Each structure stands twice: as structure tokens, then as C-alpha cells.
Amino acid sequence: MTDIRGHRLVTSLLGLSLLALAGCGQDDGSSQKALPPSASGSVALSPSHGGLTGGNLVLADTGEDSDGPITARFGETEVECPFDERSSRHACTAPSGGTPGTVEVSFAAGGNEVGEKTAYTYTTQGTQDIPVLTVDTETVRRNAEEIRADFPQDVQLGAVLKNGEPVDVFGKVIEDAADVDYLFVPKLDDAIALREAGVQARIAVLYAAQIEDIPLLVHYDVEVPATDPAWVDAAEQVLATTGGTLKVHLWVDTGMGREGVVPEEALPLARAVEGAAHLELAGIATHFSTITAEDAEAIERNDTANTTVAQKNRFDGAVAAIRNAGLGQDALIHAGASDVLDHGIEALYYDLLRVGGMFFSSSPPESSVYSWTTELTQVKTLPEGWCIDYGCTDPTTSPKKVGLIHHIPSRENELDYTVGGQQVPVLLDHGTVVTLDLSQVPDAAAGDEVVIDFSAEAFHMLDATAPLPVTTTGG
Ligand SMILES: *Cc1c(COP(=O)(O)O)cnc(C)c1O
């Protein structure tokens, strides 16, 4: 791409993102030789955000009175935008973006800059009607640095990334800031995204792997759980054709009722893995269900009535059975998560800790990893005796002020809505239309910001299945 103006703009991405968040796309003055704004007013993009793959139509109003073609520069990428008679805008096709975040957009015609600079926000490939969720990567980076600074010396650090997009951004930031040994992810797509983003650390899928995915696992150097001996046989057959070695982890369900084999089945599974020419037993793992601050002491006393002690003993027994059979000598033993590290239960550290939530914890509002806002599209006062929702079970008993918001995905965690600093109840939730009770916010008006919060204790555990469009600030 040629730079038709012969100089580069140096507005920082962070500065620009903050401006965009504040609803202001104007240049913040840190650009060198920024041209004065056009005489005819502001620049507007419709829409002002879109998915990373680009290809969508973006109509641009440069404020100029020209119907000739213009060139739009989205970050570093230029696209030609013919004039669109129908909308009286210039019709650009958004180029693909690198990572979620806000880029500067500038326009030129015949080699001269036209209009003001503005901003376009790239998000993950979510449903663009859903309010954009913004991730503050600076907070994640700071958490990662703190975790690394306090981390026990002789224990490997595995980061667990199961709170969804943008998993590649999270992985890069955390690898960079905490020099992690491992990244653990719930699904293969996440593992591929991490490798494609250039993550060097070892990567393991947590819960299950499909046999048909084995060539991909080999290609991307991704480790997976070995489900059972039948899975091992099927995997070995495929690996005999791909060549290479697939590293697998043997999960023991010691009392969680989730991933892994029951303890008696651990040794037979280890035998199957060690007997397969193309499989390597890289890890033996379990997951605790009921970590508490009392566990360290309970372990000391071997209090078998304590759930964690029971799980630990079953795990240690399974590992000993495997090792006594001369197997799994080099396998990493891993079991503890954030709660084990948080409580400093050293007896559960083993060779590696799998730390998830701690990377995403925050003390809102100063350092929230996530910010999620939308706007009231409509505000009205319903008369007394007015039905709310189908069935009219709970009509208004006096005039009631309400506000509408839209396209809020249903989530496993309750959401809180705040308008004008006041948390407001939900009267009706149909997802595509949500009616908020604004009785306590008499000044609320259409266009006002609505802050959407996950429940406080679950704040870092975003439901990864919702197709949210997610962007980032903080670089
Ligand atoms: C979620 C999870 C972790 C991480 O737990 P946090 O409490 O988020 O640290 C570790 N291991 C497994 C198997 C998990 O499912």
C-alpha cells in the first residue's frame, strides 16, 4: 500500500480506542500534521464496527460534496469506495482486520485527504447486532504479570482460556506477560486460533478430541486427552498414517463427575497409551471439585472425610499405580487451578498448575477486563393497568417509565443493567427486545448508555457460547 500523503499517522491504537469508546471518532491531536476537518462537518461510517474477516459494506459520509470515487484507508489497508447514489454515501467494502480493536479510517480523493479521520472497530465474528463487548487487554496483562511474579519457582504455569473470544489475543498477551509453559483450551478451534496467532507455548485441549481431528492436532502440535483404550486404538490407527507423535494427557475423574476415567481405569489406559507407537503420555491430571481454605490442614491430617483429601488420595493412588508399572515416568502431574494457587495449597501444586479465572479477575469499575454497554433505543411511560408481556400476569399498578434495549443473548449468568448509575430491573426479556423498568431513573432518555454486567462473582466467566462480537483496548 502506498502512502499517498507521504507521511504516516502515529495516533496510538489505545488512544484511538478510548476516543472511539467515548463516542468520539475525532483525532486526538497526537497525529502529526493532521489536516483540518472538512468544512462540511463530521465523518460517519455506517456501520462503525464489523467482523475481522471484513467483506461487509461500510457506507461513508465524508462530509464532502463529491460523487467521485474516494480511497478509504482502514488502518494500513486502502480500499476504493465508489459513490453510491441510493444512500448518497461512498460505498466501501471493509478490508479484513488483523486483531479485534479500533483502527483509524481516513479518506482521500485524487491524492488529497478529504473529510475527517474517523474510527472503525474490528470485532470477533459475532452477531453484529448484539452490543459489542470490549476486553481491556491491559488488565489481563497486569494480572498475568502479577501471577508470574508470585508464582512458585519449580512449578510449571498453565493458563486456562475458556472464557471465549478473543482467545488468540488473550493467549498472546498471557504468553508474553507470564511466559506460560502451557495454554489449556476447551476446544480445538481455540487451539488452532492460538497457533495461528503465533503462540509458542505447549497447547492442550481440556476435555475431548475427535478422532477425525487427529491430523489437525499433529499439524498444529496440540495435545489432547486420551479418552479410553478404544480411543487410543483408533487414534493410533490414524497416527500410523500421519506419522509424528501425539502427546496425550490421562485425566482421572477423582470425584468431579466430569472429564477423565475413574481411578481403576487409569492404569489400563496408561498401558494402552504407552503401548501405542505414536502416542506419548505427556500428562496425568485431575480436577478438584471442592477446594477450601481448610484443605491444606486437612491434607496434613489426612482427613479422609474432606472431599479434597479424598480426591488427592485417589489421584495419588492412580499416579502411583501407573508409575509402579514403569509407565508415565516423564508425564507431568497436574491437578490444581486458581483456587489451589489462591489458597497456597502446596501439596496440590504437583508439576503444573492450570490457572484460569485469576487471569481475568478484576475489581470493577477501576480494572474491569470486560466492558459491555448498549443504548436505550426508546423510552416511554406506560399507563396504569398496562399489560407487560404475554398473558398480562403483572399489569402496571400506576404509570411506569420503561426503556427498551435489544439483542441481548440469553446467558447462563444473570445480567445486571445500570442506567444513569442506577441498577434497573428487567420487566420483560425476549432477547431481541428487553424492557427495563426506569421508575427509579426519571431523567433517563433514549440514547442513554446502559451498562450490562455479568453477576459480580461470575464476572470473569463469560459464557463462551454466545456469538458476541468482541473487541479490545489496551493492545
Ligand atoms: C476451568 C478449569 C481450570 C481452571 O480453573 P480456574 O478456577 O478458572 O482457575 C483448570 N482445569 C480444568 C480442568 C478446568 O475445567
Domain boundaries, the chain: 13-123, 133-360, 370-460
pLDDT at position 362, please? Answer: 78
**Residue 180 CA to ligand 1 centre (angstroms):** 15
Is residue 286 in contact with ligand 1, taking CB distance under 6 Å? Answer: no
pLDDT at position 125, please? Answer: 87
Q: How confident is the model at residue 458 (pLDDT cuts 50, 70, 90)?
A: low
Q: Are 95 and 23 in contact (CB under 8 A)?
A: no
Ligand 1: residue whose CA is nearest its atom 4: 356
pLDDT at position 63, please? Answer: 84
Is residue 161 in contact with ligand 1, taking CB distance under 6 Å? Answer: no
- Over residues 336-345, the mean pLDDT reads 97
- Over residues 168-174, the mean pLDDT reads 96
13-123: what fold? Answer: Immunoglobulin-like (2.60.40)
151, 162, 340, best to mutate for ligand 1 pocket (most atoms within 8 Å of CB): 162
Q: Are 431 and 407 in contact (CB under 8 A)?
A: yes
Q: How confident is the model at residue 96 (pLDDT cuts 50, 70, 90)?
A: very high
- Over residues 237-252, the mean pLDDT reads 97
Is residue 355 in contact with ligand 1, taking CB distance under 6 Å? Answer: yes
Per-residue pLDDT reduced to its tens digit, 97-133? 989 999 999 999 988 999 899 999 999 988 899 999 9
Write the class of the CATH domain 133-360.
alpha beta
Is residue 160 in contact with ligand 1, taking CB distance under 6 Å? Answer: yes
Adjacency order of strands within the sheet including 378-382: 378-382, 400-406, 433-437, 426-429
3-class SS of residue 227: coil
Q: Is the pLDDT of residue 287 over 50?
A: yes
Per-residue pLDDT reduced to its tens digit, 227-236? 999 999 999 9
**Residue 279 CA to ligand 1 centre (angstroms):** 25
pLDDT at position 468, please? Answer: 78
Residue 263: other Cβ atoms inside 10 A: 21
Ligand 1 atom closest to 251 (CA): 13
d(CA 458, CA 468): 17
pLDDT at position 256, please? Answer: 97
E strand segments, 222-278? 222-225, 246-251
Write the class of the CATH domain 370-460.
mainly beta
**Residue 49 CA to ligand 1 centre (angstroms):** 33
Per-residue pLDDT reduced to its tens digit, 414-424? 789 999 999 99
Ligand 1 atom closest to 358 (CA): 9
pLDDT at position 193, please? Answer: 95
Is residue 338 in contact with ligand 1, taking CB distance under 6 Å? Answer: yes
pLDDT at position 455, please? Answer: 58
d(CA 444, CA 172): 41
**Residue 112 CA to ligand 1 centre (angstroms):** 54
Q: How confident is the model at residue 41 (pLDDT cuts 50, 70, 90)?
A: very low
d(CA 446, CA 82): 34
Angle at 429 between CA 428 and CA 431, to 5 degrees: 150
State the greatest distance between any 2 C-alpha atoms of the chain, in Å, as a whole number. Answer: 82
Nearest in space to 342 (alpha carbons), one of 291, 398, 307: 291
H helices of 325-452, in order, are: 338-342
Name residues whose C-beta falls within 8 Å of residue 240's C-beta, 6 or more positions apart in sequence. 277, 278
* Sign of torsion over alpha carbons 219, 221, 224, 226: positive
**Residue 367 CA to ligand 1 centre (angstroms):** 22
Q: Average pLDDT of the chain?
A: 88
Q: What is the DSSP string of 44-102?
A: EEESSEEETT--SEEEEE-S----S-EEEEETTEEEEE-EETTTTEEEEEPPP-SSSEE
Ligand 1 atom closest to 259 (CA): 13
Per-residue pLDDT reduced to its tens digit, 356-378? 989 988 776 677 888 899 999 99
Ligand 1 atom closest to 186 (CA): 15
Ligand 1 atom closest to 461 (CA): 8
Q: Is the pLDDT of residue 459 over 70?
A: no
Q: Is the pLDDT of residue 3 over 80?
A: no
Name residues whose C-beta falls within 8 Å of residue 150's C-beta, 6 or more positions apart in sequence. none
Strands 279-285 and 112-123: unpaired
252, 354, 369, best to mutate for ligand 1 pocket (most atoms within 8 Å of CB): 354
pLDDT at position 185, please? Answer: 96
- Over residues 394-410, the mean pLDDT reads 94
3-class SS of residue 202: strand
Is residue 114 in contact with ligand 1, taking CB distance under 6 Å? Answer: no
d(CA 195, CA 192): 5
Is residue 254 in contact with ligand 1, taking CB distance under 6 Å? Answer: no
Nearest in space to 105 (alpha carbons), one of 50, 168, 53, 65: 50
Is residue 117 in contact with ligand 1, taking CB distance under 6 Å? Answer: no
Nearest in space to 443 (alpha carbons), one of 406, 404, 401, 405: 401
**Residue 354 CA to ligand 1 centre (angstroms):** 6
Ligand 1 atom closest to 339 (CA): 7
Per-residue pLDDT reduced to its tens digit, 128-165? 999 999 999 999 999 999 999 999 999 999 999 988 88
Angle at 412 between CA 406 and CA 415, to 5 degrees: 50
d(CA 319, CA 332): 10
- Over residues 46-66, the mean pLDDT reads 93
pLDDT at position 208, please? Answer: 93
pLDDT at position 207, please? Answer: 95
